[in-house]
Amino acid sequence: MRVHEIRLPQDIVVGSGTLNLIGQVCKKLGIHDSAVIVTGPKVKGIAGNRVKEILEESNMNATIHVSAESSIAEAERVRDLIREVKAKVVIGVGGGKSIDIAKLSAFKEGIPFISVPTAASHDGIASPRASLKGLNRPTSMSANPPVAIIADIDLIMKAPYRLLASGCGDIIAKFTAVRDWRLAHKLRGEYYGDYAASLAILSANLVVKHAEYISRRMPESLRTVVEALISCGIAMCIAGSSRPCSGSEHLFSHALDLIAKKPALHGEQCGVGTIMMMYLHGGKWRNIRKTLKLIGAPTTAKELGVSDYEVIKALTIAHKIRPERYTILGESGLSWEAAERVARITGVIE
Ligand code: ZN
């Protein structure tokens, strides 16, 4: 039997005021001395400075790196800083960008990375993969999962609701991602892990079940979404790839990122992609649309802020984004007519 190695986060702390525990968490994990904190210009004032203070209270040196762009070049700059201050850990404090830069730079330097999400907008907060821009296009790279995830609900609650709704779109995407994975297993003999697939589907089902509470912005539902996103990250750790969490709907989102004048948020695009890919899979796409509508996530091109042309174009090139990732789009993808039809039938375009 093929050897399958699973690397998982050691410590997951979710709740009110958990940010204050970061010093203790480092101690528990045997991390001392020096840390690099990667954060964004806005989040620095909201949480980055606070993390530095808490670490210093725990007798650690902490250096803040403010990153404005999510690129591989930025991760390289953080690597230089890690070596300069002899950091023993990198802490990503923020939404997507800071976490991915921290994840990749820590991985390349062979030191642990701690994830401190300030929004529940996508599953990268706990995954072993980093999505960064390099050579003008988004690339997804293998890295280590965070050694710890510290999700402070008080902090995440302050983020705009749009980010949370986007996170729900990224979770709903697991319905079609898992179908694509099964298809690749059946048609291509690709490795398929039932446990990882079930975990991803469990998260998606939780979002469906809690959709109404989420739309009413109840604090407990926020916790559910955060935990579901972390579970999706764990599903990827168990699978050893992003397969349980990323299928044709993600390819559509990546394609839209490449061609749209003004792309929407990752999870928003994945949610709309899930409606259309579920139609192609012959599944209950109307239920997907209903859940997204209830949550207040976009379900149409107009709501995404992209043109009908961009949606159709993205559908026709999605299969080329990661040719090795077999999905319902097949090897040759959708023709213009087929793409237009699926977008029209599902109400994504008018
Ligand atoms: Zn995603």
- 118-150 pLDDT tens trace: 999 999 999 999 988 776 666 788 899 999 999
Using the mean position of ligand 1's atoms as its centre, give its distance from the Cα of residue 185 in Å: 21
Higher-scoring residue by pLDDT: 32, 301: 301
- E strand intervals along 45-95: 61-66, 89-94
CA of 174 to the centre of ligand 1 (A): 9
> How many angstroms is it from 175 CA to the middle of ligand 1?
12
Report the pLDDT value the prediction gives residue 327, as an integer from 0 to 100.
98
Distance 234 CA to ligand 1 centre (A): 13
Cα dist from 250 to 71, 298, 302, whole Å: 19, 15, 19
Distance 242 CA to ligand 1 centre (A): 9
User: What are the structure tokens assigned to 132, written together?
Assistant: 């960064």
What are 275-333's pLDDT values in tens digits? 999 999 999 999 999 999 999 999 999 999 999 999 999 999 999 999 999 999 999 99
Domain range 11-157, its CATH number among 3.20.20.80, 3.40.50.2020, 3.40.50.1970, 3.30.360.10: 3.40.50.1970
Ligand 1 centroid, distance to 47 Cα (angstroms): 24
Portions of the chain given CATH number 3.40.50.1970: 11-157
Average pLDDT of every residue of the chain: 95
Over residues 62-84, the mean pLDDT reads: 94
- For 278, the token pair is 């579920």
Residues of the chain above pLDDT 90, percent:
92
CATH number corresponding to 161-345: 1.20.1090.10
Q: What is the pTM of this model?
A: 0.96
Q: Could you tell me the distance, in angstroms and rounded to a whole number, from the CA of residue 18 to the centre of ligand 1?
A: 25
Provide mean pLDDT across the span 32-47: 96
Dist. CA 123 → ligand 1 center (Å) = 6
Q: Compute, in angstroms, the gap from residue 247 CA to the centroid of ligand 1.
A: 9
How many A from CA of 122 to the centre of ligand 1?
6
Domain with CATH 1.20.1090.10 in the chain: 161-345
Give the tens place of pLDDT for each residue, 231-278. 999 999 999 999 999 999 999 999 999 999 999 999 999 999 999 999
Asked whether the beta carbons of 148 and 115 are under 8 A apart, the reply is yes
